[in-house]
Amino acid sequence: MAKAAESSGEPGTTSPRPLMRDLKAVGKKFMHVLYPRKSNTLLRDWDLWGPLILCVTLALMLQRSSVDSEKDGGPQFAEVFVIVWFGAVTITLNSKLLGGNISFFQSLCVLGYCILPLTVAMLVCRLVLLAEQGPINFMVRLFVVIVMFTWSIVASTAFLADSQPPNRKALAIYPVFLFYFVISWMILTFTPQ
Amino acid sequence: MAAADELAFHEFEEASNLLAETPDAVTTSGSGQLTPQGHVAVAVDSGGSYGAEEEVEESDKTALLQEKQQPGFWTFGYYQSFFDVDTCQVLDRIRGSLLPRPGHNFVRHRLRNRPDLYGPFWICATLAFVLAVTGNLTLVLAQRRDPSIHYSPQFHKVTVAGITIYCYVWLVPLALWGFLQWRKRVRERVGPYTFLETVCVYGYSLFVFIPTVVLWLIPVPWLQWLFGALALALSAASLVFTLWPVVREDTRLVAAVLLSTVVLLHALLATGCKPLPLEPLAPPPQATSLPLNLLPPPTPRSQVT
């Protein structure tokens, strides 16, 4: 959103250039999440499009196709949305209250983008579930989710850890761990009917 | 810097030991962040013990360098003062709540009148999620033993568990604090705790339920009761030992009623968290095992164990 604001062209034009620029920025950040190095790209040019896309994708994939999905109690679309955004806001507030020097939207941006590995895990799980169910099926899914969960934590820690004073790093990282754990749990317990 | 921090922490320990031996002593302490080494001075107050609580707070505040008066509650800095803890302090407080000792008052000994909201908030959040996850797991394990049970993620359990636990940790201390304030005129010597200190005590006392809920996955009934009783004993002991110095000044009746109410409410929460034995009937999904039971009043189902 920061980039879109500063790159507004003449009023009334529907030039695709800002859109392409935004998409490229989002794609670049995806790459940074997949190969986390200590860099400031995610923090400097934050945007919330990536997290929104990821959140919607995840929520759509967690929908069950059964007719009686109400009774089954799987997370509804709105629930996933609320959990992701409410969780991210809570973690950001916690990090700021502990004295971190990261801005609100930067933190939201990082947390949102680091859901990417878990979204990939969800995709893989849905594909694996097309095969026959059984313990091997479950072990494969468990393995994939664990690997992606670790990836998410490592990626977000690489970006967020430097913004906290050193004697509080663990206090700031633990809620991130809890957040991704809950999302991983939702992915792992997903069973289509 | 790590060595200096360790020095500061050891000095803290010595001071706490001194304080435990001489309950009349008043300590002033400096925050590890603001001073390079911890600054601890122990002065023996001859006038009275806990009645000097306000003076302790005053001297605490003045001893902290560069600490101005408290910002107003509409500023961000006000809330930041409740998250002014380090990792080692939080771990220390958790350890203190896990091992309650009769002489050691959690508020004086561990919190040192500097309550934090980080511990209670995240312990409650963790407990809510762990409850939901283990409830789910119980259902999965039960279904593997008996395929007639209908499995569903039952995701709304998280919401229910979260709301119950947070309400407990906020409303019960509020009632307790209000009651103690009302009885303040009966006690001369011992000052009551602030609201946040009470919330802190309750929040940290719930920590022992987190491993207990995980251990409740073992499907052996007497073991489950054993773990539950152990957790309840530790948790309630922590609460009672903290409240005892404040309450013993009061009349016997009030003290007994208050302490037993506190323990009873805690027991209700523990019962609410305990998983119920599963009934192997298939329809409808609501009738089968709801591992999470709601808090008071306990439904008749919870009595059948």
3-state SS, one letter per residue, for B3-25: HHHHHHHHHHHHHHHHHHHCCCE
pLDDT of the residue at A8: 47
Q: Which residue of A has its CA nearest to B134?
A: A185
Residue B83: which of A98, A185, A186 has the nearest Cβ?
Answer: A98
In this predicted structure, the answer to whether residue A147 has a pLDDT above a threshold of 50 is yes
- Flag the least confident range among A86-90, B45-49, B102-106, B208-212: B45-49
Residues from chain B contacting residue A99 (CB–CB below 8 Å): 80, 83-84
- Torsion from C-alpha of A112, A117, A119, A122, nearest 10 degrees: -150
Nearest CA to B197 out of B177, B178, B171 is that of B177
- Whole-angstrom Cα distance, residue A155 to residue B66? 37
- Flag the least confident range among A22-31, A75-84, A170-179, B32-41: B32-41
Instruction: Give the number of residues written for chain A.
Output: 193
Average pLDDT, chain B: 70
Chosen for mutation from B133, B155, B289 (greatest number of chain A CBs closer than 10 Å) is: B155
Q: Which residue of A has its CA nearest to B91?
A: A171
* Average pLDDT, integer, range B170-181: 86
Pick the most confident of B12-26, B97-111, B158-172, B177-191: B158-172
Nearest CA to B180 out of B201, B206, B207 is that of B201
In this predicted structure, the answer to whether residue A88 has a pLDDT above a threshold of 80 is yes
pLDDT of the residue at B177: 86
Average pLDDT, chain A: 81
Phi and psi torsions of B186, nearest 5°: -80, -30
pLDDT of the residue at B190: 58
pLDDT band with cut points at 50, 70 and 90 for residue A193: low
- Whole-angstrom Cα distance, residue B125 to residue B127? 5
Question: Inter-axis angle of helices A49-61 and A104-113, to 10 degrees?
Answer: 40
pLDDT of the residue at B284: 42
Beta-carbon-side half-sphere exposure of residue B19 (alpha carbons within 13 Å): 24
- Whole-angstrom Cα distance, residue B237 to residue A129? 48
**Do A48 and A108 form a contact (C-beta atoms < 8 A)?**
yes
Pick the most confident of A54-68, B10-24, B109-123: B109-123
Does the pTM surpass 0.80? The reply is no
Nearest CA to B63 out of B96, B15, B10, B4 is that of B15
Query: What percentage of chain B reaches a pLDDT higher than 90?
Result: 4
- Flag the least confident range among A90-94, A161-165, B5-9: B5-9
Chain B touched by A178 (CB under 8 Å): yes
Question: Is the CB of B87 less than 8 angstroms away from the CB of A186?
Answer: no
In this predicted structure, the answer to whether residue A188 has a pLDDT above a threshold of 70 is yes
Residue A35 one-letter amino acid = Y
Alpha helices in chain A (DSSP H): 2-6, 17-34, 41-44, 49-61, 69-72, 77-97, 104-113, 116-128, 135-160, 169-188
pLDDT of the residue at B264: 85
Residue B153: which of A165, A171, A189 has the nearest Cβ?
Answer: A189
pLDDT tens sequence across B217-231:
888 888 888 988 899
Query: What percentage of chain A reaches a pLDDT higher than 70?
Result: 81
In this predicted structure, the answer to whether residue B39 has a pLDDT above a threshold of 90 is no
- Whole-angstrom Cα distance, residue B240 to residue B247? 10
Q: ipTM > 0.95?
A: no
Instruction: Give the number of residues written for chain B.
Output: 305
Q: What is the DSSP string of A80-112?
A: HHHHHHHHHHHHHHHHHHTT----HHHHHHHHH
pLDDT band with cut points at 50, 70 and 90 for residue B149: low
pLDDT of the residue at A119: 92
- Whole-angstrom Cα distance, residue A118 to residue A121? 5
**Do B173 and B195 form a contact (C-beta atoms < 8 A)?**
yes
Question: Inter-axis angle of helices A104-113 and A17-34, to 10 degrees?
Answer: 70
A171: closest CA of chain B, how far (Å):
6
Retrieve residue B176's tokens: 């307790």
B210 compared with B113, residue with greater pLDDT? B210
pLDDT tens sequence across A154-183:
888 888 877 888 888 888 899 999 999 999
pLDDT of the residue at B185: 66
Q: Where are the domains of chain A?
A: 43-61+74-187
Look-up: residue for tokens 């119950």? B164
A122 compared with B154, residue with greater pLDDT? A122
Residue B125: which of A165, A170, A178 has the nearest Cβ?
Answer: A178
pLDDT of the residue at B70: 63
Per-window interface: A 49-88 vs B, CB < 8 A: 71-75, 79
CA gyration radius for chain B?
22
pLDDT tens sequence across A18-64:
888 888 888 888 888 887 776 666 677 788 888 899 999 988 888 86
